Structure 1
């Protein structure tokens, strides 16, 4: 990416009514008063936005921020990319139907062609596609229905640290206990398995030994007639856990899971809602392991910044009846047009390779910081999906010498970054992992600037924590 593509905001007047010309404090106060208690991001990122372009957003006070949250990874081309804007404007000029349920259109056919052209032939030769409601959660729900219908079974296998959405069915697959508290039966019908979290290996081993034990455990469970676990309808996982702390599964572990599920005739569902379309340095994260899933769940980036989700799956699973999964907004033509334009640009400019290069550069900066700052326990991730786990250097180490997560410091770092013009998110156990999900168009100078802000923010946050202590 050419650094000349970095753009500056021009001062532009906004023709807003008096209600929408409030200052940031007034807007935030109004939001707190009128919006649901379930709102989350404004509690950690208390700003009111009015404009955005590329990797930058501007708040109503005129402050500009680098956006390394980017719609939780949705905006792989950044905000208001010209290719996406033109695709949407063309669709409006040509008076395309905005919503078509599941009626077909040339735009829909083009979208399928563009998506299938980015997937391995081994998958698309026998693929069916289901268009779902606007969110990744709905696509996960569809995947659950699909495999349960096809197998006639009810139990699902999921992983510690998993995040698959916030609907009741998807929550049953979630590792994080917080959002499930008080929901009664949300956890039923799911058997949780150990994910290969090397830094905090659930078996206390780490590395290849920890992975091998985990795979052996899963294989044994699937073949043990007294495991207590009924034959499952499917196994669902994220190739890189995002909300769980940016934890990448190794290629060898993913290959092992593919082998285990194939041996046990258990459909393998890969949730690539956040990793799909180039973010990890490949078009899809499963390609790092050279495997093919039975079911692939996609959303976020494939709609070109607009709401869209799909499930791509092997035709042998296509046993559900007409109407088994539906939704009013599954025919979002603007999202399909924007998604096609996004996919073509990702392919033409090989943004997957750019993401790999920029991710390697950013990770290098983070590793250098780790060597200087003992509060950074581990740097991990793939491509432009990176995390840094913040630990308490003075905390008691576990059996493998790992210090405890330091959520208070992580929150202070996030606030210090925001103050300096950088938006990022937290995740992982106890909210102790800094997460970076910048648009794939980020340039080298911008990567360096992100690292510079983050370094200053960490040092500032550490000083403030020490003063309070």
Structure 2
């Protein structure tokens, strides 16, 4: 074997991108949207190999609560490296793991954290979803699951089964017994009524379906829900509706799993998104920001469900020492530095100003979200409106806006039912100046793409 690469040479960005297209799989995603080669990053700023700087409103799909290379995270990593601590120990006990679980449990809502158990999973949120579903199947002896339209829970078999996206599920065999329930989505209400009436119908539908002896739904092992749907288009669950789902599941002995992979660690203006409604779930799936930018995923659940056998859900990379150190530092810094309140404050400003922008740009159909998890849905205002007055989504325009944003030094990604939603996930450390720049560049991009210029 001959190695031809010269480690001292600096390849050009064009060469790197060309090799990526040739070497990597057709399943590439973000690389297709953003043909740049980042070489440095700090906070919200990413610098490409061409010297251009970008404001990053993607933040590793919500992973980077503190932005890129935050000093608190780097210090925790360096301290761990310098200590000589083992970097990989499967699920053995370490001081770093003990410290992380302490920080994690201290950050969770007290009624849920009291007596809770933590299971370390493979390093991605999808594996934690698999673990949560298996846990509840073991505890209840049942098989099926309740999941929602618009949901995204991951790409492995069980997680994909409870995901709503048809395009990624269609080529594959069925991944399990899943009953799909309507998620309240005011702009595109599944019942065609919108507002509080749509929320009430969604809750009533769940209850009537479960209680109907001819409804075709066997008692499920669990319900899994996102408090704010991320990939589904930054759609927040109404607090009253979520409390109803908790009541319905509790009265029928159905464990409730809340997927906080993207909503956790201050993202929505609360440390954990369940705090907005005050519900106490039976399990929470956590990943992304809990690792302080490094891979880490856990399931936290009420101890009465801890009924599986040793090795029932295992994996090699459950002992990421660096991620645990970085995660503990991140959790404590978010709490101590007031970043939860900061996310709420800046998120409110962005939501207010984007809503005002909607009044000037008719291609903006809806602006929504919670904290620093926001969505701008782009539409074709010349199309035929639906029963609640919503215009058809315009995914082609959304692609043009994303490209126009990148040309202006702003990284935003798309999501939603038709990939027509601009998703904003800036770090919690975003400054007022950066927030203003995001608004300015986004407004320019939408105006330019919408006019065809």
Q: TM-score scaled by structure 2? A: 0.98
Partner Cα separation in structure 1 for residue 8 and residue 26 of structure 2: 22
Partner Cα separation in structure 1 for residue 83 and residue 305 of structure 2: 37
How far did 1:126 drift?
2.3
How far did 1:41 drift?
0.8
1:88-117 deviation per Cα after TM superposition (whole angstroms, max 9, x unaligned): 000000001101111111111111110111
Partner Cα separation in structure 2 for residue 322 and residue 421 of structure 1: 50
Aligned pair partner of 2:141 in 127, 148, 152: 152
How far did 1:18 drift?
6.3
Partner Cα separation in structure 2 for residue 20 and residue 59 of structure 1: 17
1:4: which partner in 2? none
Partner Cα separation in structure 2 for residue 176 and residue 333 of structure 1: 34
- Closer/same/farther in 2, CA of residues 18 and 87 from structure 1, 3 Å limit: closer
Aligned pair partner of 1:301 in 267, 289, 300: 289
How far did 1:370 drift?
0.3
Partner Cα separation in structure 2 for residue 367 and residue 218 of structure 1: 32
Partners of 2:193 and 2:387 within 8 A in 1? no
1:90: which partner in 2? 79
Aligned pair partner of 1:314 in 290, 302, 307: 302
1:75 aligns with 2:64: yes
1:8: which partner in 2? none
1:5: which partner in 2? none
Partner Cα separation in structure 2 for residue 239 and residue 20 of structure 1: 47
1:204 aligns with 2:192: yes
Partners of 1:280 and 1:355 within 8 A in 2? yes
Alignment of 1:336-415 (within 5 A): 336-415=324-403
1:232: which partner in 2? 220
RMSD between aligned residues: 1.1
Give structure 1 stretches of 5+ with no counterpart.
Answer: 1-15
1:279: which partner in 2? 267
Which SS does the other structure have where 1:335 is aligned? helix
Alignment of 1:130-145 (within 5 A): 130-145=119-134
How far did 1:22 drift?
2.3
How far did 1:223 drift?
1.5
1:404-435 deviation per Cα after TM superposition (whole angstroms, max 9, x unaligned): 00000011000000000000110001100000
Aligned pair partner of 2:255 in 253, 257, 267: 267
Partner Cα separation in structure 2 for residue 156 and residue 131 of structure 1: 22
Partner Cα separation in structure 2 for residue 20 and residue 44 of structure 1: 27
How far did 1:25 drift?
2.0
Partner Cα separation in structure 1 for residue 361 and residue 382 of structure 2: 13
Alignment of 1:211-222 (within 5 A): 211-222=199-210
2:28: which partner in 1? 39
Q: TM-score scaled by structure 1? A: 0.94
2:163: which partner in 1? 174
1:248 aligns with 2:197: no
1:147-190 deviation per Cα after TM superposition (whole angstroms, max 9, x unaligned): 0000000000000000001111111111111111211223x311
Aligned pair partner of 2:173 in 184, 193, 198: 184
Give structure 2 stretches of 5+ with no counterpart.
Answer: none
Partner Cα separation in structure 2 for residue 256 and residue 287 of structure 1: 15
How far did 1:20 drift?
5.9
Aligned pair partner of 1:50 in 28, 34, 39: 39
Partners of 1:223 and 1:264 within 8 A in 2? no
- Closer/same/farther in 2, CA of residues 364 and 19 from structure 1, 3 Å limit: farther
1:107: which partner in 2? 96
Aligned residues: 449
Partner Cα separation in structure 2 for residue 125 and residue 73 of structure 1: 27
